[in-house]
Amino acid sequence: MSSQTADLILRGGRFTTLDRSCPEAEAVAIADGKFVAVGTAADVMALAGPRTRVVDLQGRRVLPGLIDNHLHIIRGGLNFNMELRWDGVRSLADAMAMLKRQVAITPSPQWVRVVGGFTEHQFAEKRLPTIDELNVVAPDTPVFLLHLYDRAILNAAALRVVGYTRDTPEPPGGEIVRDASGNPVGLLLAKPNAAILYATLAKGPKLPFDYQLNSTRHFMRELNRLGVTGAIDAGGGFQNYPDDYAVIEKLAADGQLTIRLAYNLFTQKPKEEKEDFLRWTQTSKYKQGDDYFRHNGAGEMLVFSAADFEDFRQPRPDMPPQMEGELEDVVRILAENRWPWRMHATYDETISRSLDVFERVNKDIPLQGLNWFFDHAETISERSIDRIAALGGGIAVQHRMAYQGEYFVERYGAAAAQATPPVARMLEKGVKVSAGTDATRVASYNPWVSLAWLVTGKTVGGLALYPRRNCLDRETALRMWTEYVTWFSNEEGKKGRIAVGQLADLVVPDRDYFGCPEDDIADTTSLLTIVGGRVVYGSGEFSSLDEVNVPAAMPEWSPVRVYGGYGAWAQPRVATTATPVACGCAHACGLHGHDHAGAWASTLPVADLKSFWGALGCACWAV
């Protein structure tokens, strides 16, 4: 037990530490951003001094802070304030009502964008909106809707802006769906890769630098609200290094990061991958940075010829014959410079061919000690798992099947889906495994949806994919999101558990993760999130502890101002007795014309309405 005086003591909680030598505790002490005592209240309170802040957790469950092993937080942060998120919305009717309201306040030439994080199967209607429906709610405002990696739907205004006509050639690996006369109808398909979807999205307006700073802070705030304290950024398509990293570097330099971030460098252009990594290994140093922002190696794209996008509506793509040669050129550069890597790979066929390359390089440059790994690995075979383990690699899984499981079953059958990916078997074989989301485009950033998928084996649409033998118990699932992730950023022993000497990152969820019904796990949020001993999010009885003040979302028409975060509009409809009254509120009344007095009154309970509009500075509601 340390003799150091604590900065902060949390007592009266039920701490799940994930420290096998001390699995449960009732109090912790924090000093200089680390845990200095974990144990009984009597022992921990001995570290209290005159300036120690003591917080009574009133018997609530406490967990280590959640760490996402695959999150596109840098790219996502640049755009978060511009995006209308349908994550967690449970009916298409509600989603379209959100879209209609957003269209009404979005000025020209801006777009309304719904960019991933949802699937049609989460909706009660089990379908996407039609192009005609988009045109009705948005006759003049461009609307771009990205659904997973399989398609984008554009209204007529968006088609005009991006300039697709009957003379536009078909893109490689994609399709512009056309009518009988050859004119684009507003549907773009990935066949089989998402290049046409991302290239089209990239044509839209971008936020200026100061707005991107604000946007990234709001994205981190939303992650903190869900208990996320750390992430590994996997790079991303159309994310340029170093230009698109200026925002996150500025926030890191100013001490405004509320998520610990390890980032990987994602190659930029096909056929130039070798040159990218030759240059980067000379100008960037692996592990450079600190506990909040640090370099984590290469990937998830190593070479474009090895990218097998998982669009389960399409047949499995075969990688071209030049894949091995191009991949070996890059892997040799990385191994020689002792850079670990992560590699996107959906199918075992791609994984097996990649392992042929890794084994060949290993004969000349031993890979042992490099924390390299595959991402996704939905259809990986037992043989490939064994080969990864023999080379000292790992597997980072994400809950993409929670969003695409229905499509996988339709193509390959329910039996094939029962161990896709075979997470339980990976763990049994002793390979390094951890979990994440792959947000923000293919799946939601909500960690609890991933945890629910690991525990229940169900999609967000309610389809039971996995038998119980292929699901995880709650503690193992939690370790997949905490302790186990640290190997993938080479930070084992530094974080991931509530233990003396580790970084003081934790979350107090709004329900008992170990006691609530399985089907309630996905709806969890945080009451208190702490990173390095600092309260980065507080709500309810802990709201007064919140130390982070994020300015209002910019620009003024940002969907974040109106809709908040995950699940805000997924509540069941209830009757209210709220009555709108006149006021001079510039935001709510000036921008929305009291639209919230009608449609939204039928969606949220009175207390939620008052809290929501009050947060925006609106006094329109009288009860």
- pLDDT tens string 295-349: 999 999 999 999 998 899 999 999 999 999 999 999 999 999 999 999 999 999 9
Burial of residue 42 (CB within 10 Å: 0-12, 13-18, 19+) is exposed
Q: Is the pLDDT of residue 609 over 60?
A: no
Q: Which of 66, 110, 355 is nearest to 223 (CA)?
A: 66
Sign of the dihedral through C-alpha 230, 556, 551, 62:
negative
CATH for the 71-201 domain, from 3.20.20.80, 3.10.450.200, 3.40.50.450, 3.10.310.70: 3.10.310.70
Those residues whose C-beta lies under 8 Å from the C-beta of residue 275, and which sit 6 or more positions away, are none
Which CATH architecture fits 209-489? Answer: Alpha-Beta Barrel (3.20)
- Say how far apart CA 262 and CA 243 lie, in whole Å: 17
Asked whether 347 and 316 are in contact (CB, 8 A), the reply is: yes
The whole-number average pLDDT for the span 610-623 is: 39
Euclidean distance between the first and final Cα of the chain, in Å?
53
pLDDT score, position 595? 34
pLDDT score, position 81? 98
Task: Scan for tokens 């992650």, then name that residue.
Answer: 223
Q: Do you find a cis peptide bond into 192, omega within 30 degrees of 0?
A: yes
pLDDT score, position 564? 86
The helix/strand/coil state of 563 is helix
Instruction: Flag the least confident range among 309-313, 390-394, 517-521, 553-557.
Output: 309-313
Q: What is the pLDDT of residues 566-607, one digit of tens each?
A: 876 544 323 233 333 333 333 333 333 333 333 333 333 333
- Say how far apart CA 394 and CA 30 lie, in whole Å: 32
Confidence class for position 2, pLDDT limits 50, 70, 90: low
Confidence class for position 37, pLDDT limits 50, 70, 90: very high
Q: pTM for this structure?
A: 0.92
- Say how far apart CA 361 and CA 522 lie, in whole Å: 42
- Give span(s): CATH 3.10.310.70, the chain: 71-201
- Phi and psi at 2, nearest 5°, equal -70, 150
Q: How far is CA 533 from CA 32, 54, 447, 507, in A?
A: 7, 12, 21, 11
pLDDT score, position 384? 98
pLDDT score, position 238? 80
- Give span(s): CATH 3.20.20.140, the chain: 209-489
- Say how far apart CA 341 and CA 216 lie, in whole Å: 25
- Say how far apart CA 388 and CA 345 lie, in whole Å: 13
Q: What is the pLDDT of residues 374-431, one digit of tens each?
A: 999 999 999 999 999 999 999 999 999 999 999 999 999 999 999 999 999 999 999 9
Q: Which of 227, 288, 229, 219 is nearest to 504 (CA)?
A: 229
Q: What is the pLDDT of residues 182-195, one digit of tens each?
A: 999 999 999 988 89
Q: Which is higher by pLDDT, 385 or 269?
A: 385
Tell me the CB-side half-sphere exposure of residue 312, using CA atoms within 13 A: 23
Token pair in block for residue 92: 């298409």
Q: How many CB atoms lie within 10 A of CB 273?
A: 23
